[in-house]
């Protein structure tokens, strides 16, 4: 298995459509990172071909949300995912 991490943003209401026991998924329900409004979360998996695990059911309209590691890091710094630093 590759050590390449790939990410995707998924709507929170899709959380139960994921096989959390799949060997290439690197997340658990208790370690998910949610957007501040709680409507989305990000999941990561190992895959050198940049395709989601077959057990991860992604609606076709969300397949464009597949991110590289750097893109996921950048997303986590946006106001939708990271609260403003204290003043």
Per-domain residue ranges for the chain? 5-76
- Cα 65 versus chain centre, distance: 9
pTM of the model: 0.74
Distance CA 87, CA 84 (A): 9
Report the DSSP beta bridge partners of residue 56: 18
Cβ partners under 8 Å of residue 7, min gap 6: 42, 43, 44, 66, 67, 68, 69, 71, 72
Task: Please tell me which residue, 9 or 52, carries the higher pLDDT value.
Answer: 9
Q: What is the pLDDT of residues 33-58, one digit of tens each?
A: 999 999 999 988 876 555 555 556 55
């Amino acid at each position: 298995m590759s050590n390449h991490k790939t990410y995707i943003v998924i709507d929170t209401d899709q959380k139960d459509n994921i096989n959390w026991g799949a060997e290439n998924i690197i997340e658990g329900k208790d370690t998910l990172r949610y957007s501040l409004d709680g409507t989305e979360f990000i999941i990561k998996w190992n895959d050198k071909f940049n395709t989601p695990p077959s057990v991860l059911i992604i609606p076709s309209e969300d397949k464009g949300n597949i991110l590289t590691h750097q893109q996921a890091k950048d997303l986590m710094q946006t106001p939708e995912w990271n609260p403003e630093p204290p003043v």
